[in-house]
């Protein structure tokens, strides 16, 4: 009988995977899943399936096949007891699954994340698309302000293999995590991590940056205080709280952009859904040109782009 293999295929001469890993029948796994959802009605089936995928190695397609072959053995990367423990911690302590598993899939990447580092968000995937489209030619030198886990720096360095990147981050914990992710992607030699606040550590490169991206903290403090507990209590406030109107960081970034960008250099910023007018005004006041505003996939104005004059 063929096993639904949630792990990489064993080598030809390796022992039966069921002898060395957790193995259950498809039927037992489906019953386990049903019982967990019944025990914890607050839990979402989609999130439990995500845990089975990321924590157990059982992807969506394999999960669907369980129904077709109830007697088939399934090899998981973690035991059901371990997975149930993670699920309970997630529900009882509101800890994001990404922190419990230490991993976050994002675009075509799998990033390591830990408490103290923002979990990369799906909408930020579009910031990469915007950054890739803005320059007429791949930039030689670019910067990522507030790099967090290093998610944008990894994506841009991979997309522009002949470029050099500079990634600025104030938090020591986040900078260490970015270093791990850049190292894992074999990009450490092409992206320099810099400690400090926004433009300040980039002073030696002011006037030379051909492209700058930033997803700064932009949530107004009053909105931050009402965020769901999983975010407010577990994700770093430094990464989210943008001050009274959410624009504290964006003001500094816009104000320094003209001096930091090379002539004609571009910048792409993420912001809160109601800040498009304010961010455009900040960029215009800083002397930037060719202002653009861009939607996220929910139709909210989420991104701004601009260029320094030639």
Ligand X SMILES: C[S@@+](CC[C@H](N)C(=O)[O-])C[C@H]1O[C@@H](n2cnc3c(N)ncnc32)[C@H](O)[C@@H]1O
Strand order in the sheet with 164-169: 191-195, 164-169, 141-145, 209-214, 261-270, 301-307, 289-295
Q: Residue 31 or residue 225: which is nearer to ligand X going by CB?
A: 225
Smallest gap, in angstroms, from Cβ of residue 220 to ligand X? 14
Smallest gap, in angstroms, from Cβ of residue 134 to ligand X? 17
How far is Cα 240 from Cα 237, in angstroms, rounded to an integer? 5
User: How is residue 68 written in tokens?
Assistant: 């077709």
Q: Residue 152 or residue 267: which is nearer to ligand X going by CB?
A: 152
Smallest gap, in angstroms, from Cβ of residue 236 to ligand X? 6
Smallest gap, in angstroms, from Cβ of residue 173 to ligand X? 8
Q: Residue 174 or residue 308: which is nearer to ligand X going by CB?
A: 174
Name the CA radius of gyration of the chain, rounded: 22
User: How is residue 234 written in tokens?
Assistant: 């577990």
Q: Residue 76 or residue 97: which is nearer to ligand X going by CB?
A: 97
Q: Residue 168 or residue 279: which is nearer to ligand X going by CB?
A: 168
Q: Residue 170 or residue 255: which is nearer to ligand X going by CB?
A: 170
Do 174 and 147 touch, CB atoms closer than 8 A? yes
Smallest gap, in angstroms, from Cβ of residue 135 to ligand X? 19
Q: Residue 118 or residue 276: which is nearer to ligand X going by CB?
A: 118
The partner residues of 110 in beta bridges, in order of sequence, read: 105
Smallest gap, in angstroms, from Cβ of residue 186 to ligand X? 20
Site residues, ligand X (CB under 6 A): 118, 120, 124, 146-149, 151-152, 168-171, 174, 197-198, 215-217, 238-239, 249
* Number of residues in the chain: 310
Phi, psi of 211 (to 5 degrees): -150, 140
Smallest gap, in angstroms, from Cβ of residue 106 to ligand X? 8
Q: Residue 22 or residue 169: which is nearer to ligand X going by CB?
A: 169
Smallest gap, in angstroms, from Cβ of residue 119 to ligand X? 7
Phi, psi of 112 (to 5 degrees): -85, 135
């Amino acid at each position: 009988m063929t096993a639904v293999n949630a792990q990489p295929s064993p080598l030809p001469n390796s022992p039966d995977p069921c002898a060395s890993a957790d193995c259950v029948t498809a039927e037992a796994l489906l019953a386990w899943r049903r019982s967990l959802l019944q025990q914890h009605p607050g839990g979402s089936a989609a999130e439990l399936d995500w845990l089975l995928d990321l924590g157990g190695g059982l992807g969506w397609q394999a999960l669907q096949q369980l129904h077709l072959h109830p007697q088939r053995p399934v090899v998981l990367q973690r035991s059901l007891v371990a997975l149930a423990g993670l699920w309970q911690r997630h529900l009882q302590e509101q800890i994001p699954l990404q922190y419990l598993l230490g991993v976050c899939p994002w675009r075509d990447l799998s990033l390591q994340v830990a408490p103290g580092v923002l979990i990369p968000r799906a909408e930020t995937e579009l910031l990469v698309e915007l950054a890739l489209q803005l320059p007429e030619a791949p930039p030689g030198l670019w910067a990522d302000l507030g790099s967090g886990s290093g998610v944008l720096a990894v994506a841009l360095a991979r997309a522009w293999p002949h470029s050099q990147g500079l990634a600025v981050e104030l938090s020591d914990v986040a900078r260490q995590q970015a270093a791990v992710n850049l190292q894992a992607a074999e990009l450490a030699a092409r992206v320099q991590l810099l400690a400090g606040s926004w433009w300040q550590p980039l002073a030696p490169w002011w006037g030379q940056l051909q492209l700058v991206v930033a997803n700064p903290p932009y949530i107004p403090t009053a909105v931050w205080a009402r965020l769901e507990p999983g975010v407010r209590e577990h994700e770093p406030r430094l990464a989210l709280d943008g001050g009274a109107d959410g624009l504290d960081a964006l003001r500094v970034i816009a104000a320094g952009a003209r001096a930091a960008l090379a002539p004609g250099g571009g910048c792409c910023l993420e912001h809160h859904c109601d800040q498009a007018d304010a961010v455009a005004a900040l960029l215009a006041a800083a002397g930037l040109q060719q202002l653009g505003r861009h939607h996220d996939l929910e139709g909210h104005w989420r991104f701004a782009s601009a260029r320094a004059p030639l």
